[in-house]
Amino acid sequence: MQAVRTIALDPAAPPVSDLARLVQAAELGGEAPEDDSPLYAPRRKIYPQSTHGKFRRIKWAVLLVTLGIYYLLPFVRWDRGPNAPTQAVLIDFPARRFYFFFIELWPQEIYYLTGLLILASIALFLMNAIAGRVWCGYLCPQTVWTDLFFTIERFFEGDRREHMRSDAQKWTARTIINKAGKHFTWLMVAWWTGGAWVLYFADAPTLVKDLATGQAPFMAYLWIGILTFTTYTLAGHMREQVCLYMCPWPRIQAALTDEYALNVTYRYDRGEPRCSVKKAEHLHALGQPAGDCVECLQCVHVCPTGVDIRDGSSLGCIQCGLCIDACDNVMVKLGRAKGLIAYDTDLNIKARLEGKQPFVKLVRMRTLLYAAVIAVAGGIMIFTLATRDSEGISIIHDRNPMYVRMTDGALRNGYTIRIVNKQLKYREFIVSVDGLPSTLIDFVGLPPRKDGRQLVSVGPDQTREVRVVVTDYSATPPAPSTSVLFKLIDIDSGQVAEMRDHFFGP
Ligand code: SF4
Ligand code: SF4
């Protein structure tokens, strides 16, 4: 069995983070620490303290924009002309359409959603390569809703100290009123969250009326119930547990990151050895070093996941930047420079320790590669969306009989043709067949017009299925299987859609 390596540190060394210990151990020629921490830890209730500063403001802005979009988007209208829904973003299951402003996707175009998911993944990788867990700290729905629920909790039960004191004491009538108010408001937010979700699947103003009058479909109530429960549980009760134990992204991003990615970092080169202001003055007077960290624990108290950033990077840190704000506020009060905790890299810490110049390297092979993939994939999607056909044809050959010999010796094959009209107006089409020397094509059940042509009309944004028979009158019988090309032609615009199939003979 492989022996567990042990760390060999200078016992007189000041308290430093795990990461610093590793660096120090490596420098001293020591070994990695033995990790004997338990596999499962009991849950510790976290009372995050409110803070203010640049990153808090960014988080407020992101919260307002993302929740604003989520709750209000179903009510945004978009004029697509007659015969089309007016909701800007709509997943219309009965009509099997997805509408996103000027884009309308049909079921057979679902690959655009796959492309969108690929783009989103690469964008996530790019964010990660530039500034770590930006998604986790600012944009993830779990973070945004938990932040909102923390705000509601503080409104009713007070900030960290007040809340902790009230939880430690015997419950009073005020405690019960505060807790009831909090849970009621949480449930209301959760209910709105579920309610907003279902509005993406039907005309929002109509569905709101139907929901209020009890006339909405059962599925709408069911989904609102499910999402109310999940939002209330995940954002109100499970909070950091989702990030710590349920979400796979921290593990994935840990494998994707590199040493140049900016991350929320405690600059232990500046902070250590930690000591109070008084002790620092004393140490300075003796000519001894003293770090800037005053052990006030403000960075830990504001952390929504209960992490001590001074212990180095960990999966529990969602990189929300709130500890930067908290520490900056402390530094300002002490008259010291901000940035004891900041977006930085371990490489820079090492560089500073060695007296070298720190640097930020945002443009590197992986960021360029991610940006290139986003540009290419996005470009292809935009191009294909802009140039896609507004008509389509699909064909199924009759299975039985494969062909029929007519009394005059001609051969006949039958097909079912599905014609797609993606435009929002009526269109008329003719269908032709190439590949056989002498053929006639008939739409079954459709009479010819005065000019002898047989046209098939398709309603706006609709598909139509028609039966077609193709008869071959050529003197020489065709091969047992001849490849033929069906052409669907719009008689007004001349736009053409094509599909190949086979003509069978004996
Ligand atoms: S807030 Fe800053 S000074 Fe206070 S404990 Fe954290 S790192 Fe040290
Ligand atoms: S350690 Fe700092 S950045 Fe990380 S989750 Fe806590 S407050 Fe946010």
pLDDT tens digits for range 312-348: 888 899 999 999 999 999 999 999 999 999 999 999 9
Pick the range with the lowest mean pLDDT from 35-39, 236-240, 296-300, 420-424: 35-39
Q: Whose CA is nearest to atom 8 of ligand 1?
A: 293
CA 320 / ligand 2 centre spacing (Å): 5
Encoded tokens for 19 = 């990461």
Q: From residue 477, how far is each of 404, 407, 482, 505 by CA, in Å? A: 13, 15, 11, 8
pLDDT for the residue 30: 52
Q: What is the pLDDT of residues 288-304, one digit of tens each?
A: 989 999 999 999 999 99
CA 321 / ligand 2 centre spacing (Å): 6
Encoded tokens for 17 = 């983070």
- Does 16 have pLDDT greater than 50? no
Check if the beta carbon of residue 440 is closer than 8 Å to that of residue 470: yes
- Does 21 have pLDDT greater than 80? no
Q: Whose CA is nearest to atom 7 of ligand 2?
A: 303
- Which of these, 272, 274, 258, 270, lies nearest to 345 by C-alpha position? 258
pLDDT for the residue 439: 83
DSSP 71-130: HHGGG-B----TTS--BSEEEETTTTEEEETTEEE-GGGTHHHHHHHHHHHHHHHHHHHH
CA 307 / ligand 2 centre spacing (Å): 6
Packed helices 365-387 and 111-131: angle between N→C axes, nearest 10 degrees: 160
- Does 35 have pLDDT greater than 90? no
Q: Which has the higher per-residue pLDDT, 377 or 11?
A: 377
Residues with CB under 6 A from ligand 1: 266, 271, 293-299, 310, 326-327, 330, 340-341
d(CA 97, CA 263) in angstroms, rounded, equals 42
Q: Which helix (H) or strand (E) holds 333?
A: helix 322-334
- Does 1 have pLDDT greater than 60? no
- Does 6 have pLDDT greater than 60? no
Burial annotation 429-438 (CB, 10 A radius, 16+ → b, else e): bebebebbee
User: Quick one: DSSP state of residue 246?
Assistant: I
Burial annotation 313-336 (CB, 10 A radius, 16+ → b, else e): bebbbbbbbbbbbbbbbbbeeeeb
% of the chain beyond a pLDDT of 70? 92
% of the chain beyond a pLDDT of 90? 75
Across 223-234, average pLDDT: 98
- Does 271 have pLDDT greater than 50? yes
pLDDT for the residue 320: 97
Give backbone dihedrals phi and psi of 103, rounded to 5 degrees, phi first. -95, 135
pLDDT for the residue 132: 92
Across 234-249, average pLDDT: 94
Q: Which long-range contacts (CB under 8 A, 24 or more apart) does 493-499 make?
A: 495/389, 495/390, 495/391, 497/389, 497/391, 497/392, 497/393, 497/420, 498/393, 499/393, 499/394, 499/395
Residues 6+ apart with CB under 8 A from 99: 78, 80, 85, 87, 88, 89, 90, 91, 92, 105
Give backbone dihedrals phi and psi of 135, rounded to 5 degrees, phi first. -60, -50
- Does 23 have pLDDT greater than 50? no
- Which of these, 503, 491, 488, lies nearest to 393 by C-alpha position? 488
- Which of these, 451, 432, 434, lies nearest to 442 by C-alpha position? 432
Q: What is the largest CA-CA distance in the chain?
A: 117
Q: What is the pLDDT of residues 40-89, one digit of tens each?
A: 778 899 999 999 999 999 999 999 999 999 999 999 999 988 878 999 99
CA 293 / ligand 1 centre spacing (Å): 5
Residues 6+ apart with CB under 8 A from 446: 454, 455, 456, 466
Q: What is the pLDDT of residues 460-488, one digit of tens each?
A: 989 999 999 999 988 777 788 999 999 99
Q: Whose CA is nearest to atom 7 of ligand 1?
A: 293
- Does 14 have pLDDT greater than 50? no
Ligand 2 contact via 307 beta carbon (within 6 Å): yes
pLDDT for the residue 273: 93
Q: What is the mean pLDDT of the chain?
A: 90
Q: What is the pLDDT of residues 380-398, one digit of tens each?
A: 999 999 999 999 999 999 9
Q: Which has the higher per-residue pLDDT, 504 or 21?
A: 504
Instruction: Give the three-state DSSP class for 396.
Output: strand
Across 131-143, average pLDDT: 95
d(CA 294, CA 278) in angstroms, rounded, equals 10
Q: What is the pLDDT of residues 409-447, one digit of tens each?
A: 899 999 999 999 999 899 999 999 998 888 888 899 888
Check if the beta carbon of residue 319 is closer than 8 Å to that of residue 136: yes
Ligand 2 contact via 250 beta carbon (within 6 Å): no
Closest approach atom of ligand 1 to CA 266: 7
pLDDT for the residue 453: 78
pLDDT for the residue 34: 61
- Residue 195 is which amino acid? G
